Amino acid sequence: MKIGVIMGGISSEREVSLNSGREILNNMDKERYEPVEVLLDRKDDIYSKVEGIDFALLALHGKYGEDGTVQAILNSLDIPFSGCGVLSSAMCMDKDITKTILRQKEIRTADWTIIRSMDELVEERIASLGYPVVVKPNSGGSSVATFICKDFDEVRAGVEEGFGYDTEIMVEKFIKGDEITIPILGGEALPTLIIKAQKGSFFDYKSKYEDDGAVEEIIELPEALQKEVNQMARDAYAALKCEVYARIDFMVKDGVPYLLELNTLPGMTKNSLFPKSARGVGLSYKDLISRIIQISMENQGIKDDRL
C-alpha cells in the first residue's frame, strides 16, 4: 500500500515540515507500507504529485497544510488522509476562532484581542489586557514571529513584524507559569509533558527545534489538576471537532490551567513532543505512525484489509 508522506509546502514552517516528513519516511513500517515522498514546492504540486498513492500521511505545518486547504483538495480527489478534517483543521489554525469556541464552551483560556491593521492598534485597548502580553500571528505556528511584550512600544514592533506573516495578529494576556502539553490519540489523552525552554525566554522556535533547546519530560501532575487538564484537553478536542490526533497546549499558573491552543498537525521530528509522550505508554515512533494511519483509515470507513 502506497503511503504518500506530504511534506514541504509554502508556509514559514516549511523547514519543520521537511524534518517531520523525513523522520516519518525513515521510520515508517516498510514491511507493512510503501512510503513515497510527496514534496510540495508550490500550491498546485498537490494535484500531480499525489497521483497513484493510496493514502496521504500529512507532515505539513502552517498555512496551506494545517489549515484545511490540502485536506479539502485530498477530499475532492478521493484520497484518504491522516488526522483532522477540513473544518477542524481550519478552526484550530485560526487562534481567534479557537479561543472564541473555548470561551463558549467555558474552557479556560487567556483574554485576547485581534488586530487587523495598525490603525486598530490602540494603546488603551492593549493596556486593558494587562502587561505583559503575547503578540503572535493569528494563524501562525512554531512560535514564528511570537513575542512577549512588556510595553506598548514592544507591542507595536511585534505587531508590525507579525503582519509580515499574517493579516491578523493576536495580542493575548501572558500567563506566566508552567507550560505543559497533552497529546490526544484516538480520543484518549497520552502522558502529559512539561516544557522548560533552555534557549529562550519561552518555548520559541529555537527551543522547539534545536537540539537541547528545551527540557521536555513526562510529568504526573497532582491528581486533581491532572484530571482537570485531561478533561479540558478532551473537551477542547471534541468542541473543535478534532479527529485521530492533536496536541493541546496549556499554561498552568498557581495550579490553574489555561488552554493555549490545539495543534492538529503537531511536529513529528526527532525532537517533537508527540513521539516523546507516546513513548511513555510504550508506543515506539514506528508504531505511532502506524496507529495514526490505522485510526485515520477507520475514521474514513476504510476496512482493515487494505492495511
Tell me the residue type at 294. Q
Give the phi and the psi of residue 296 in degrees, each rounded to 5: -60, -45
Of the residues 172, 179, 243, 261, only one is catalytic, namely 261
Specify the pairing of strand 34-40 against strand 2-8.
parallel
Nearest to 88 by CA among 77, 103, 72: 72
Residue 261 bears catalytic tag: yes
Residue 128 bears catalytic tag: no
Order of strands, edge to edge, in the sheet holding 112-115? Answer: 112-115, 169-173, 133-137, 147-149
CA pair distance 239, 233, nearest whole angstrom:
10
Residue 223 bears catalytic tag: no
- All three cell numbers of 211, joined, read 537540539
Of the residues 4, 13, 19, 143, only one is catalytic, namely 13
- All three cell numbers of 198, joined, read 533552555
Nearest to 195 by CA among 207, 211, 210: 207
- All three cell numbers of 26, joined, read 525513515
Residue 247 bears catalytic tag: yes
Residue 249 bears catalytic tag: yes
CA pair distance 199, 206, nearest whole angstrom:
7
255 by DSSP, 3-state: which? coil
CA pair distance 173, 108, nearest whole angstrom:
13
Of the residues 33, 165, 209, 285, only one is catalytic, namely 209
Residue 188 bears catalytic tag: no
Of the residues 17, 27, 263, 296, only one is catalytic, namely 263
Nearest to 296 by CA among 88, 7, 49: 88
Residue 186 bears catalytic tag: no
Of the residues 247, 271, 272, 277, only one is catalytic, namely 247
Of the residues 17, 138, 142, 207, only one is catalytic, namely 142
CA pair distance 118, 106, nearest whole angstrom:
31
Residue 209 bears catalytic tag: yes
Strands (E) located in 244-290: 245-253, 256-263
Active site residues: 13, 142, 209, 247, 249, 261, 263, 267
